[in-house]
Amino acid sequence: MLTGCANPGLNNAAKPTINWNDTQSISSAISVQHDDLKKITNFKGPNYSNGILDSVSLRALKSDEDDRFSYQIYVTDYYHGDWRFYDTASDSKDNNLVIKLNSRDVSSCDYLTCAHQEHLGIDVSREYLEENQENGIVFKVSGKGGEKTCIIPGTYIKAFLSVAT
């Protein structure tokens, strides 16, 4: 017997493939949602894969009150073994980046090991993104139990900045 699950309230159509070398393709995958109660606009870039279940994306919030933006690199790292407890990050230009832990989750366990996910936010400025939009950003998150190198292509940054204005 085969079983499956689907939420009939969701659109289960396949999402179009993103061409990571084309800013227009990336721009069309950026979600923009306004929250009338909180008086903010939320910009969320698509997940760029750094592994099978790992991803990195850009996010921004814009306040209606003063039109100020806050920008963030969002990282999801999926791994097996001991917790990595990420607490530091630095880019390829030796800039220290400040991590905000969003959550740590146990995805699954078997009799040998568990699979974990850590969700991290790294606050950055628009200027930082603008400075890195040509060559992209390569950065490493580290903790007492391991590390992970992540990449954000320059085309992704350009596309995101063109929408989050």
Question: What are the tens digits of pLDDT across the range 47-74?
Answer: 998 666 789 999 999 999 998 999 999 9
**Positions of E strands within the chain:** 31-35, 40-44, 48-49, 55-63, 69-80, 86-91, 96-97, 99-109, 114-124, 137-143, 146-152
Structural domains counted in the chain? 1
Query: Does 3 map to a domain?
Result: no
Range of the domain at 62: 31-163
Distance, CA of 10 to CA of 117 (rounded, Å): 25
Q: What is the pTM of this model?
A: 0.84
Residue 132 within any structural domain of the chain: yes
Q: What is the pLDDT of residues 79-90, one digit of tens each?
A: 888 888 999 999
Q: Examine residue 144 and state whether it is found in any structural domain, yes or no.
A: yes
Question: Would 149 be classed as within a structural domain?
Answer: yes
